[in-house]
Amino acid sequence: MAVIVGVMAVVPAVGFFLLRRRRGRLRERFGPEHERTVAAAGNRRAAERELRARRARSGPLDIQPLDPDVRRDYADRWAAVQARFVNEPSPAVSEADLLVRAVMAKRGHTTEDFAQQASDLSLEHSRTLEHYRRAHEISGRAGDGWVSIQELRQAMTHFHALFDDLIGGDQHAPRA
């Protein structure tokens, strides 16, 4: 009888421990995207089910690293977009968006649908995904009408954060 009572006390404790550990792994893997998904779903259980589903759907993605020469070429193109921003901020933001999507496509990410892009990016680039969401929102408003130069600056900064993450951080110094 004492053994049965002991087992009945231990099993829920082990289950609770495993659930917390699984949650911790999701939070670690998805970073800020975990909390954003929980807030959007309004329910932690539903949000975590969505995040696990994303991870399961990611199976067919074949994300490739960039060749050093390709990385340098993209870095040079980014430098040109930044230079254009001085005289033509709105078109430069649109170009930054296109360049980020080009890098995503080159690496093997989906680029047709923003929701799918965000879902795919959350798997490997969750730390910079919120930058992409903000940049995409500002870029969309800039295409529809007028936005302030400050917002365009913010969009460039946000695009740059994801761009750096996609091409591999500080390994992309532009050619002289």
Higher pLDDT, 176 or 55: 55
Q: Are residues 19 and 85 in the same domain?
A: no
Q: Are residues 88 and 126 in the same domain?
A: yes
Nearest by Cα to 106 from 166, 160, 162? 166
Give residue 120's domain range.
Answer: 68-171
**159 within some domain:** yes
Residue 36 in this model has a pLDDT that exceeds 50:
yes
Task: Tell me the average pLDDT of the chain.
Answer: 78
- Give the chain's domain count: 2
What is the rounded average pLDDT of the residues 83-108? 93
Q: Are residues 107 and 157 in the same domain?
A: yes
Answer whether 0.85 is exceeded by the pTM: no
Q: What is the pLDDT of residues 39-67, one digit of tens each?
A: 777 777 776 777 666 666 555 556 788 99
Residue 81 in this model has a pLDDT that exceeds 90:
yes
Q: Are residues 136 and 79 in the same domain?
A: yes
Q: What whole-number distance in Å separates Cα of residue 108 and Cα of residue 160?
A: 19
**62 within some domain:** no
Q: What is the pLDDT of residue 98?
A: 93
What is the rounded average pLDDT of the residues 109-130? 77
Q: Which residues contact 96 (CB under 8 A, 6 or more apart)?
A: 78, 81, 135, 139, 155, 156, 159, 160, 163
